[in-house]
Amino acid sequence: MGTPDWDLFSSYAGLLTLASASIYAGSFGSLPNPKRKPGQNPSDDEENEEDEPERVSSEDAWLFPLIGSVTLLGLYLVIKYVGKEWINWILGWYFSFAGLGSIWKSSIAAVSFTVGSERWKKFEKYTFKIHRHSDSSVLLSLSARSPSLYLFPFSLLFFALYTFASTDRKSVLLSDILSLSFSHNALSLIRIDSFKTGTILLSGLFFYDIWWVFGTKVMVEVATSLDAPIKLLWPKSLTFADTRGYTMLGLGDIVIPGMFIALALRYDYHRFSEKSPATANAKFRKPYFYASLAAYISGLVVTVSVMHFFGKAQPALLYLSPACILSFLTTALVRGELADTWAWSDAPAPAAAADHQAKGADTNHMDGVVQEGEKAALTDEAAMDVGAAQ
């Protein structure tokens, strides 16, 4: 038996840690805000509603493999017949500007979590509004707490470092930070509406991943040709040297299962909030969340193990999709709750949705721009779901 390759094993462990931590943070970011307490400032409700999530329904889930396939094939044809330089140039600028908002939003979420929601709401809030002259109605309203304004120059600095650094000098660390911010915001802002939808989504992308990785060379060709923050990289070295290259994991292998795991956490929270009032720092049992997160980690370990043994790129969703689905089904069956969990929907009540839509007609918040960027980035992530590549 040869000497263990600790450099390679460390890259596997680092990649697994980044992916799991991203899903953990994004899942908690997807939790709904607690209802306003009596006597609390009503403006806090307005602030909480700025980030209205995008819901993925079962009808949307059926289309994901088709949209991903068309996008992936289109990128492959452009790379093959036009060249990767042009597509990398376009994607570079797109992800730079989208990353500016994404890094800003993730840094705000990190600071808000660190100081706590109650203390965060004590910071000065600044609001900028544009009114229509004829009837004084609000055309645009931008609001932010004071720490958010201080964090914006940091995001601009990151934007400059990533955008204007030459390709050979562009840091993998910068790319990974940008990728993690996209993953965090996608999990926070794009939500599966039920376990039925999640099962359809994971099942469809299970076959999508197998076909494009094992059936053709398209997936690997596109993934290795594009220089964009749509994958996590970890150097195959304990000293973080890049001489041996990098271990890679596509963001689709984080975001797609991550949305299912975040749904499990919201279901745990839903069960808790039905029994007791929800508060900002409430602790509650999380059987479905921990089961699905453990299944994801186990599936990723199997993925890299098979990849290491055969020395060939693997479609990660081949292992992650069944692991997540089976964790949900097993937990629900053991707890005798399968019928209830399958019928549960995370979609907002019609009255609440109509009320938010009416408010949104009057006010457009700054985070809406970030949300659109994350939705577009998720489409690219689904198309670039490359699995773990050695």
Residue 19, φ and ψ in degrees, nearest 5 = -65, -45
3-state class of 389 per DSSP? strand
Q: Would you state the structure tokens that stand for residue 188, as one six-digit string?
A: 């926070």
d(CA 240, CA 47): 41
DSSP string, 162-221: HHHS-GGG--HHHHHHHHHHHHHHHHHHEEE--HHHHHHHHHHHHHHHHIIIII-SHHHH
d(CA 353, CA 344): 17
Q: Is-catalytic flag, 51?
A: no
Q: Is-catalytic flag, 5?
A: no
d(CA 20, CA 119): 28
Q: Which of 51, 176, 193, 209 is catalytic?
A: 209
Whether 36 and 44 have beta carbons less than 8 Å apart is answered as: yes
Whether 250 and 182 have beta carbons less than 8 Å apart is answered as: no
- How remote is the C-alpha of 34 from its chain's centroid? 22
d(CA 320, CA 16): 13
d(CA 125, CA 54): 26
d(CA 152, CA 162): 15
d(CA 377, CA 383): 10
Q: Which of 253, 346, 380, 385 is catalytic?
A: 253
Residues 6+ apart with CB under 8 A from 19: 232, 249, 253, 254, 300
Residue 1: Cβ-neighbour burial (10 angstroms; 0-12, 13-18, 19+): exposed
Whether 198 and 192 have beta carbons less than 8 Å apart is answered as: yes
3-state class of 225 per DSSP? helix
Residue whose tokens read 């975001």: 255
DSSP string, 68-137: HHHHHHHHHHHHHHT-HHHHHHHHHHHHHHHHHHHHHHHHHHHHHHHH-HHHHTTS-EEEEEEE-TTT--
Q: Which residues are catalytic?
A: 209, 253
